[in-house]
Amino acid sequence: MNLSISLGNLWLKNPIIIASGVFSIDSAPYFPLPDIGAVITKTITPLPREGNPSPRLWETTGGLMNSIGLQNVGLKRFIDEELPRYLELSLPIIVSISGEKEDDFPQMAEKLKDKGVSGLELNLSCPNVERGGMHFGKDAEVVKRIVREVKRASSLWVMPKLTPQAPDIVETAQAGREGGADAVSLVNTFLAMALDIKTRSSRLGTLMGGLSGPAIKPIALRMVYEVAKAVRIPVVGCGGIMTAEDALEFIIAGASAVELGTVCLLNPSVPSEILKGIKEFLREEHIGDIRQLIGSLKTSNNG
Catalytic residue ranges: 126
Q: Which of residues 16-35 bind ligand SIN (CB under 6 A)?
A: 21
When asked if residue 239 is in the footprint of ligand SIN (CB under 6 A), the reply is no
What is the rounded distance in angstroms from the CA atom of residue 66 to the CA atom of residue 127? 9
Is it true that the peptide bond before 39 is cis, omega within 30 degrees of 0? no
Closer CB to ligand SIN, residue 125 or residue 172?
Answer: 125
Query: Under DSSP, is residue 122 helix (H, G, I), strand (E, B) or coil?
Result: strand
In the region spanning residues 182 to 201, those forming contacts with ligand SIN, defined by CB under 6 A, are 188-189
Cβ at position 245, least distance to ligand SIN in Å: 25
Residues 75-134 interacting with ligand SIN (rule: CB under 6 A): 123, 125-128
| CB-facing half-sphere around the CA of 215: CA atoms within 13 A | 15
Q: How far is the CB of 164 from ligand SIN (least distance, A)?
A: 11
Of 21 and 239, CB closest to ligand SIN: 21
202 touches ligand SIN (CB under 6 A): no
* CB-based contacts of 203, cutoff 8 Å, min separation 6: 55, 58, 65, 194, 195, 196
Residue 37 within binding range of ligand SIN, rule CB under 6 A? no
Q: Is the dihedral of CA 12, 274, 268, 22 positive or negative?
A: positive
- Rounded to a whole number of angstroms, the minimum distance from the CB of residue 212 to ligand SIN is 8
Report the distance separating Cα 8 and Cα 293, nearest Å: 17
Q: Which amino acid is at 156?
A: L
If binding is defined by CB under 6 A, does position 213 make contact with ligand SIN?
Answer: no
Q: Which residues bind ligand SIN (CB under 6 A)?
A: 21, 43, 66-70, 123, 125-128, 188-189, 210
